[in-house]
Structures are given as structure tokens and as C-alpha cells.
Chain A
Amino acid sequence: MPYESGPMTEAMYYVLLSLLRPNHGYQLMNEIEKVSKGRIKMGPGTLYGVLTRLLKDKLIIVVNDDGRRKTYSITEDGRKALEIEYERLISMVNDGKIIMEDRDE
């Protein structure tokens, strides 16, 4: 089932992005900060909220659970959703280029 809930929140986008490489919650927060080049400092509450939601929507799965910590990974659906969102963002940015053209004139 492809993701059809419209535009993603920034938090959701970056969690999916960071889970292209399997990771556990604890390190995910640092990973997100790294991936966003320090722009996003996600609160742990938000992080676990997103993880719960993504698990429910089957965009990510738990690949390893040793009882102490869970390792998450993106699913095929998740990857598709991420690609769709990426395309959407790209066209948004492209469409937004008229701002620059306006400025040039």
C-alpha cells in the first residue's frame, strides 16, 4: 500500500531519510541532525511519535529487537513514499525558481 496521506511533515521526511540505513532510536536523533547538517534538532518525543506512526503505516519495520533496543529500517513502501515526496519537493523548488527570475528582471 503506497503512502497517500499527502505532504509529509519535516520530522517524518527526515526520519525516513535517516532510516535508509537501519538504525536504532538512540542514534537516530544524532543521525537526523547529521543528515540535516545540524538544521534539525528533533525532540525525543517527536522522534518516537513519528516512529510509532510510521510503524503503523508500515513505512518502516523493526529489523532487530534484542529486548533492550529496537533497530528500525525503511520498507519498500517507505522508500516509495520517500521518493514521491522527494519528487514533490523538487517540483516545488523548481516551481519556486520564478522568484529568482523575478529578481533577475
Chain B
Amino acid sequence: MSKSVKKFMPGDLWDFGKNESWFSDMALKGLHLQSIGSWFAVFEKGQPQKTKYRIEVLEESPSQEQLELYRECGWDLVANKQMFYVFSSPEELNAPELQTDPMEQGFTFKMIDRQLKKNMIAISLLFLSFLLSQFHLSFQDEPYLFLIKQRAFTLVAIIVPYIYIFIESIRGYLAVKKTRGSLLMGIPINHKRKWKLSYIISVIIHVYLIGLIALLFITPFYAVMRRETYTYKTVEDIPVISIYDIEKGPVYDYSHSIDYDWSLVSPVQYIIYEDGYIEGQMQGDFSGAYFKTSIQTRYYELALRGISEGLLNDLIHRYYRHYEEKLIEIENERFDRLYAASGEGNKLIFASFDNKVIYIKYSGKADLDYIISLIEKKYNL
């Protein structure tokens, strides 16, 4: 049995001239067209041969009689996909052309024309409804907090192929309209159109899209796999400052939770809560014997350093809200940016440095400067 070679087939069959000259060039290399699938054309390995190819649009599958007549004229049916039929003829046979009247051939395009138009309208409607369904996203007032979620990437990964299909359907429709127009004006199809450049471009686009779609399918699973709520881990294992770092004495009734999340944009994300009680100065009436102390930390490591500033702003926007103390920017060359608000109960710190962004909400006795110095020490700033 002879060997078959599969080759990626870009674009659609309606691009007659390009596909015909591509098949001919393959035959010259000894690869003879055998069949056409939705993504690939299959070639049979053989002797190099000068071969002409012609693509025909047939509304109904051709009758035996019709194929016989074609064969009589030197044309054999080699492949078929939907309404497109590919015929071949060895060049030395000098077979007469299948289509001798460009205008009549233009009429046969009416059907592709209609079908592509239907496609285009359907795809446009789908695309539009998809955009409308995602319309609320344009109202995001915290875009960076959204961006670090894996969902954001999934959305991009869906939109890009969508846009591609949308553009392709319009491009296809216009190309067919143009071919049909020139046929109706009596200009025959150029069977030797250059195909190489558009082939290469198409391969690049498809590889890129397939990569994107693969990511689209893999990353949500990966994100879910990585997402964890640790109950066994202690805060010491995590690159954040713990309540034990802040409080000098023993902490009673300690409890904590650690949530980890992953996304392409921010592969390390921690949300940590710790609370407990520390001993205080006992008063005469036993009040004040113990003080509650708690810390909440949101810690992000970003794959793109450029968004750290935006993320910091979003964190401030979300968590500083309804807080009465003034938020002040603290000049500290060890941080890219450092903001803090300090009141009776809570102390808020928003900091960014390198590719890291931190938000800390602490309520306890320790003062702000001390916590900031702990942060500096923790991250070797």
C-alpha cells in the first residue's frame, strides 16, 4: 500500500485558484491529492507529475453519466467536500477546460454566495449576543482584580477565536462575492494563483489559535487543581508576616485559614486570616485581661510586573472603602508604593514592590511602623 501524507489545509475550498495551484505544486513533488477533510488534505505519495486540478461547485452530487463525461474529457474526480468537487488531469493530456464560460461559472457561485452569507449572518449574530452577554464587564471598576482571576484569561481565550471566526466569515463572503463578480464580467479564474504566503500566514494563525484554545481548556482545570484551602499548613510556610511575628507574647485561642489561588497572570495568590488573644494589662475589674488581635493578608505575585500599580489601586478601591481614617502615602524607597491608614482599631497597609502586591488589615496593639519594618525584613527589602 502506498503511503499517505496529511497536510494542513488553510482556508476554504472556495479560494479556487489558490487551492488548485497548491494541489498542482504538491503533485509536482509526488504528492497526489486523495481526499479533503475539514482541517487536512490527504495526499498519496507517488511519482512527481505535472497535474492540473479544477474545483467545481455542484449543487447535487454528480451522476454516473456526468462523471463519465468528465472522464471522457480527461478529468477524474479525486476528492469531494460538501458541494466542492476536485477534478484532476495530467498536464500532458491537454484536456479541455471544464469551464468554458466564466459567466455561467459565475452563476454556479450563487449557491456558495448564499450559503456564506447565511453563515456570516449567523456568526455575526452569535458574536454580537456573546459581546452583549459580556457587556457588564465594561462596567468593571476594578479591572485588575478581575484580571488576576483565571476567568479573565478564559474570557480572552474565548473571544480571540471568536473574533477570528467572525473575520474569516466576512472575508470568505467578500472573497466569493469578488470572484463571482469577476466571473460574471467574463474574467476566468486564475488557476495558478500564488498560495505560499497566505498558506504560511494561515498556518501561523492556526497554530496560535490552537495553542490558545488548548490553554483555554487546560488552565481552568489547572487553576482548580492548584486552588486550595490549607488547613494543615501553618502561616510560617507562606511568605507573609504572621500574627506570631507581630505579637511578642503568646497568642491564645489561635485560629487561621489559608486560601491559595492560581492564575496565569498571578500564579501565587494567598488570602490569609489569623486571629487570637494576647495578654494585656489586667485592670481592677478583670477587664482588659485579654485583647483580640487579628490580621488579614492578601498577597499576590504577578507574572506581569506592569499591572502591580493597577492592582494596588484596585485593592485600595475595594478595601479602603468605608474606612474613616485618612489613607496616606508613605515615602519609603524600599517599596514601589506604600500606603497606610491607621486608626483606633484597624491598620490598613497597601504595598507593592518587585512583582508583589500586598494588602494587610491588622487590628491589635502593634503600631504601623513596626508592621512595616516586619514587611521589609520578611521580603529582604
Contacts and interface: CB of A to CB of B under 8 A. Distances in A.
A25 B70 CA distance: 11
Chain A interface category by residue count: 20 to 34
B105 A24 contact: no
Interface in B10-57: 54, 56
Contacts of A41: 96, 100
A34 B295 CA distance: 99
Interface of A: 9-12, 24-26, 29, 40-50, 52-53, 68-70
A25 B69 contact: yes
A25 B101 contact: no
Nearest to B65: A69
A43 B65 contact: no
B104 A9 contact: yes
A10 B72 CA distance: 23
A104 B72 CA distance: 49
B73 to A, nearest CB: 5
Contacts of B96: 41, 43
Contacts of A43: 73, 96-101
A50 B104 contact: yes
A44 B105 contact: no
B70 A11 contact: no
A42 B108 CA distance: 16
A90 B327 CA distance: 94
Contact of A10 (B59, B68, B101): B101
Q: Chain B CB within 10 Å — which of A44, A48, A49, A50 has the most? A: A44
11 contacts: A9-B104, A11-B104, A42-B100, A44-B66, A49-B104, A49-B107, A50-B101, A53-B104, A68-B64, A70-B63, A70-B65
Given A24-B65, A26-B65, 6 more contacts: A9-B103, A40-B100, A41-B100, A44-B73, A45-B56, A69-B63
A15 to B, nearest CB: 10
B59 A52 contact: yes
Contacts of A25: 65-66, 69
Nearest to A69: B65
B159 to A, nearest CB: 41
A49 B69 contact: no
Contact of A12 (B70, B104, B108): B104
Contacts of A42: 100-101
Nearest to A51: B66
Q: Chain A CB within 10 Å — which of B70, B101, B103 has the most? A: B101
Contact of B101 (A26, A29, A46, A68): A46
Nearest to B111: A52
A29 B100 contact: no
Given A25-B65, A44-B66, A44-B75, A49 B105 contact: yes
Q: Rank and list the top 8 A-B pairs by shortest CB-CB distance, nearest first.
A: A45-B98, A43-B100, A69-B65, A11-B101, A45-B99, A43-B98, A46-B101, A44-B69
B93 interface: no
A45 B54 contact: yes
B143 interface: no
